[in-house]
Amino acid sequence: MTLQPEAAPSAELAEGSDDAVIARCWGTRGSIPSPGPDTARYGGNTTSFEVRSGDTRLIFDAGSGLRLLGLELVKDPGTLYHIFLTHFHWDHIQGFPFFLPLYHPEIELKITGPKQNNIDVRSLFAGQMGPIYFPVPFSVVAATMSFAHLNEGELQVGSATLKTMRVKHPSYVIGYRIEVGSKVICFIPDNEIEGDIYEVDDGWYDRLVEFVRDADLLIHDSMYTDEEYPTRKGWGHSTFSQSLKLAEDGGVKKLLFFHHDPTRSDDELDEIVTRVREDALARGSAVEMEAAAEGIDIKLEK
């Protein structure tokens, strides 16, 4: 597994191939965009994540980072893009109206997400483009669009198998396990591992461990430190150490701490990750770990 490039994040897309799976975070912050010099290295955009392998291109969540991805896609547009949602909180959908392929008549978008009570995915998306919230009406969308629901289940898309599991966060929220050939990526951006206010079955944590079992890459909600968590229980997010424990219990190879607190500077993230890594090494942990950064390709050789 190699992390490319070692230098600052770049908008230039790496070439996809049939021999590798490439993952890239386009937005890593949680709750609200936080641009500025203090967040430039790890990024200030909210959640958006992409997986590429050969002709298969999968997009997960539509936070403000989706706008940057859209700018790249329209330079040499394909004909079909899949967008998979974990849930519909604002920081996970706010980039969608600014996604340029949405206004391209030769592009097809397939959008899949968990149904929220009796509200379908199309209505949830169209609602945010109503005149109260946004000046451009949903009716001017030029791309061909289709919508589907996926709560807990499995779906085949090109060379990838997607599996989903409900996680702990307000509303109905899912995480994704993406299997391409022998490689496994798990994307769980919002999840309160130790929360006790959520409607999940007995044995939920054991199921979660199996869900991430032997993943080459786990991207997991790590919004708080252990010291911060007691005053934020029930807010729907995990700590760095809770995410690491999940990775260790599941035999994960590499962990990216994700959903960075918008008030957290890059330097503060560096200090936290260094401390967590040193503690893990002292315990003999084998998990490789980093803070997720925008614009960096992670290449998994098949």
Closest CA to 121 of 111, 135, 106: 111
Query: Per residue in 82-91, pLDDT tens?
Result: 999 999 999 9
pLDDT at 199: 86
Whether 77 shows a pLDDT value over 90: the answer reads: no
Mean pLDDT over 14-27 rounds to 80
Mean pLDDT over 216-242 rounds to 97
Whether 9 shows a pLDDT value over 60: the answer reads: no
Query: Per residue in 275-296, pLDDT tens?
Result: 999 999 999 999 999 999 999 9
Whether 4 shows a pLDDT value over 80: the answer reads: no
CA angle 90, 93, 97 (to 5 degrees): 115
CA angle 135, 98, 87 (to 5 degrees): 100
Return the amino acid letter for 140: V
Considering the entire predicted model, what is its pTM?
0.93
Residues 189 and 186: their CA atoms lie apart, in Å, by: 10
Residues 52 and 59: their CA atoms lie apart, in Å, by: 9
130-137: Cβ within 8 A, 24+ apart: 134/97, 136/97
H or E, element range at 72: helix 65-73
Domain 20-301 belongs to what architecture? Answer: 4-Layer Sandwich (3.60)
Q: Record the tokens describing residue 205, joined without a space.
A: 């944590």
Domain ranges of the chain: 20-301
Name 301's bridge partners. Answer: 20
Closest CA to 258 of 10, 11, 49: 49
pLDDT at 7: 34
